[in-house]
Amino acid sequence: MLLRVLLVGLTAAAALAADRKPPSTRTDNVTEVLHGVEVADPYRWLEDGRSAETREWLERQRAYARAVLDALPGRAQLRQRLAELMRTDFVTAPVVRGSRYFYVRRNRDQELGVICVRQGIDGRERVLVDPHPLSPDRTVSVTLSAVSPDGSLVAYGARHGGEDEITVKVVETATERERGDILARARYSSLAFRPDNRGLYYVRFGAEGPRLYYHELGSDPARDPVVFGEGLGRDKTLSASLSPDGRYLLIHVTHGVGGEGRTELYLKDLSRPDAPRAVIQGLRARSTGRMSPETLFVHTNWQAPNGRVLAIPLHKPEQAHWREIIAESQAVIRGFTLAGGKLFVNYLDNVVSRVGIFEPDGRPAGQIAFASLGTISGVSGEWNSGDAFFQFSSYHVPATVYRYHISSGRRDVWWQSQAPVDSERFELRQVWFRSRDGTRVPMFLLHGRGFQPQGDAPTLLTGYGGFNLVSTPGFDPLAVVWVERGGVYAVANLRGGGEFGEAWHRAGMLDKKQNVFDDFIAAAQWLISNRYTQPSRLAITGNSNGGLLVGAALTQRPDLFRAVICGAPLLDMLRYHKFSVARWWVAEYGSAEDPEQFQYLYAYSPYHRVRDGTPYPAVLFVTGDADTRVDPLHARKMTARLQAATSSGRPVLLLYDTYRGHSAGLPLSEQIENLAMRLQFLLWQLGLEAPGGG
């Protein structure tokens, strides 16, 4: 009965939405000739997010989207189930300094995470920083940025909404008193206190590019000297860390984000006045280093596309003294951590997660693995500590944080989510399909236990495929609710990611980016040909680079999908590099300023692939003013273009607000409401619900 009521409600809501017309958007006759090609850009005026005309247009779009979505039934029930899954106690793995344990906790009745400390693993919890009083609407959140080696000082970042930028402050652990040292709002990384607590190093990304600074505590931050980075442009990224004894400063310079990931490593002996010396320079490879008191360990794909680990003496880092201690294998090394005098190496073996433990000379010393498909993440610890911490979860398995006793290999539960999920009702498996060029590509499928394909299951497909990042199973309330209502949740491990090492990444970047879209389309076709679903019951979703992915898919194969959720996307690939921090991504995508790169960018740029009179799927764009990473102009322009072009009668909606951005930071109630609206949109378009819903 409830199902029949819902379907009647959906039908009525669909009729109401069909009667609503999107706001009209004026066009400009803007054209330019790029490398001999005339390119039209009728909505360029929407690039100016601050103009009065754009703000008025956004208000009309907001009113239209909310009028359509608010007319649909069922949000209260979705909100209730999502709240059950998300409004539970949440605790991060701790940062351990001596006998103090620092972590972020959000209790079930709280909107934001709170920075806490306890003396001893079973000690009484104290609150160090509570963000709730910082903003009446709970739009200021805090992040644990750094802890001094003795645990007496904590640096934290205060973030407005989803901005990448933070304001950095320092608090004393013993007294909970904030010091006067404040680093003004900016994009920061790599904060590290000196062991003597006299100051801290940090990287700030400014208008000219990244710079490494040193701040003497108690001094004026405006006078902080630059330690490294003069002359680095905005296409470079920079990070730094201190050795456990504070003697050495390790500096990473990366040429762009993604791309080939060419990294240079520099080492500065802080006991000497010498300038930093290059350790790795001129190699076309991605390299990441971590230090023990005597050795620099480097994870690199130099002459090893799947990764290997080198050991380099800190006192003589010349290449003649490099030693390979962990060789390349079929499994891909994704990173490593130093803890308890050992190396904890994160492996992916056919996209299955495990951790190998090694002695400093490379001898195996154990392994962390799970029988079920899921992800081991966040391995952390200190060189001189006796414990390491890590987290395990899967799409349908809430997170558990484990304490790993390094001497014995025993693992205990540090914290476990109490989200109410009956994981035994779900089934997660891995399948493989052939892409357009014959490449075998894996995909995770989550559905109800005992599910039998009959060709009409509402299916939600997602992926990423870029920047050497990987898509592995992690707890996802949206996936849980989707499957609980009879759906199939699919995650394709596309080229461009790092699931199979650097070769897999390079097969989906620059002029090979179309491979990523081909993989995604092939995943959809596999789901259809294997009788999981059909185009009228297939939706896709993606965020950021994944927003580009679904934008390309919907413009290249609009016949294949019924609905699309496109979050924080890049969509105008001819102009993306001109805005915000997008110069970082030229190494991954290319730039239309280059004649050869222009050709392939123009060929797939979603904004430029839209054709008038095409029956496009229903589309929900999601972004906001606080996205200081991917400029929301992409979603604004694409919304206008699709609303004008589509002939399907299906809605093209823009969910846009002031505080939504790329980073985490929204209060929990808003996270729940946003997910409920996304699910409501999908349920409406695909007609998915189960008895007990509404």
CA–CA distance, 520 with 516 (Å, rounded to integer): 6
The CA-CA-CA angle for residues 477, 548, 52, to 5°, reads 95
| From 380, 435, 544, 663, active-site residue | 544
- Nearest of 1, 523, 498 to residue 261 by alpha carbon: 498
Q: In what order do the strands lie in the sheet with 308-313?
A: 287-291, 295-300, 308-313, 323-326
Query: Token digits for 11?
Result: 């039908």
Q: How far apart are the first and last CA of the chain?
A: 10
The neighbouring-strand residues paired with 42 are: none
Whether the CB-CB separation of 483 and 563 falls below 8 Å is answered with no
Any idea what DSSP says for residue 198? S
Whether the CB-CB separation of 680 and 688 falls below 8 Å is answered with no
Q: What DSSP element (H or E) covers 398? A: strand 397-405
Strands in 206-301 per DSSP E: 210-216, 226-228, 236-242, 248-255, 263-269, 277-280, 287-291, 295-300
Query: Token digits for 381?
Result: 């610890």
**For the purposes of burial, counting CB atoms within 10 Å of the CB of 512, is it exposed (0-12), middle (13-18) or buried (19 or more)?**
middle
- Listed in sequence order, the residues at least 6 apart from 580 whose beta carbon sits closer than 8 Å to its beta carbon are 628, 629, 630, 631
Any idea what DSSP says for residue 396? T
Tell me, yes or no, if 292 is annotated catalytic.
Answer: no
- Nearest of 320, 464, 471 to residue 394 by alpha carbon: 471
Tell me, yes or no, if 580 is annotated catalytic.
Answer: no
- Nearest of 458, 455, 462 to residue 447 by alpha carbon: 458
For the packed helices 668-686 and 2-19, what is the interaxial angle rounded to 10 degrees?
A: 90
| From 215, 447, 577, 662, active-site residue | 662
The neighbouring-strand residues paired with 100 are: 97, 119
Q: Is 65 helix (H, G, I), strand (E, B) or coil?
A: helix
Whether the CB-CB separation of 156 and 131 falls below 8 Å is answered with no
CA–CA distance, 170 with 178 (Å, rounded to integer): 6
CA–CA distance, 461 with 452 (Å, rounded to integer): 18
Would you say the C-alpha torsion 531, 537, 543, 545 has a positive or negative sign? positive
Q: How many CB atoms lie within 10 A of CB 658?
A: 12
Secondary structure, 3-state, 324-379:
EEECCCCCEEEEEEEECCEEEEEEEECCEEEEEEECCCCCEEEEECCCCCCEEEEE
The neighbouring-strand residues paired with 655 are: 622
- Nearest of 280, 217, 278, 270 to residue 245 by alpha carbon: 270
Question: How many residues does the structure list for the chain?
Answer: 694
- Nearest of 456, 438, 641 to residue 555 by alpha carbon: 641
Q: CB-hemisphere CA count at 13 Å for 340?
A: 18
**Residue positions annotated with a catalytic role:** 544, 662
